[in-house]
Amino acid sequence: MADEREVASDGDGEEAAHDPEREARRLAALSLIRRYGDPVLKSRATPIDRFDEALRQQIARMGQIMDEANGVGLAAPQLGLSQRLLVYRVGPEAPLTVLVNPELEWSSDDEEPLDEGCLSIPGVTVPVERPVYVRVRALDESGERRLVEASGLEARVIQHEIDHLDGVLILDRTAKDERKQAMRALREAERDHAERAA
Ligand code: NI
């Protein structure tokens, strides 16, 4: 998910548009990401049990695609891989965080709504209510256990990406009226896209 402009969406094209090379990389990265309607995005992903060089290469590739797409988080199913793996980076200077087989161990009763977008649903943002604090158990790229306690944007990104591992999208997490409106925007965006492509 999640960009800086909308705080919690995946992409911000406006800044990139000033730099044609960066914009080309952004579009190339986006073209690798599965879109709304792809069955892999509605499926529950499978736990990872091999912590080998192939996994580490895949993590590096996910980090690169996420960065080039101006995302703050990316889950493996978004690249068509049914694996319980996600990466995120909550600020330009922040390190890439990798969570393998993450389990949400605890979340706060304290919730807040915020507009979220998703690299798999470009052009759509909807308000999503989520717990402000979470504690997550996971493994890292070497299979070592890690515990992450997060709040605010980081907590939101983690929850958004874990949702992807369970086949849940932001449209499933928003109110009915918001979803209707978003679906309309999505159809319009697809029509515009088809017209431009024609
Ligand atoms: Ni997403």
**Domain covering 4-197 assigned CATH 3.30.70.100 in the classification:** no
Q: Is the pLDDT of residue 13 over 60?
A: no
CA–CA separation, 185 and 162 (whole Å): 25
Residue 43 backbone phi and psi in degrees, to 5: -105, 155
Q: Sign of the CA dihedral 109, 110, 113, 119?
A: negative
Q: Is the pLDDT of residue 18 over 50?
A: yes
Q: Is the pLDDT of residue 4 over 50?
A: no
pLDDT digits (tens, 9 = 90+) for 143-188: 999 999 999 999 999 999 999 999 999 999 999 999 999 999 888 8
Of 72, 70, 81, residue with least CA distance to 38:
81
pLDDT digits (tens, 9 = 90+) for 105-117: 999 999 999 999 9
Q: Is the pLDDT of residue 39 over 70?
A: yes
Q: What is the mean predicted confidence (pLDDT) over 127-144?
A: 98
- Tell me the CA–centroid distance for residue 110 and ligand 1, in Å: 22
- Tell me the CA–centroid distance for residue 54 and ligand 1, in Å: 24
Q: Is the pLDDT of residue 142 over 50?
A: yes
Domain range summary for the chain, segments of one domain joined by +: 4-197
- Tell me the CA–centroid distance for residue 120 and ligand 1, in Å: 6
Active site residue 161: yes
pLDDT digits (tens, 9 = 90+) for 44-99: 999 999 999 999 999 999 999 999 999 999 999 999 999 999 999 998 889 999 99
- Tell me the CA–centroid distance for residue 30 and ligand 1, in Å: 12
Q: Which entry of 141, 161, 178, 195 is annotated as an active-site residue?
A: 161
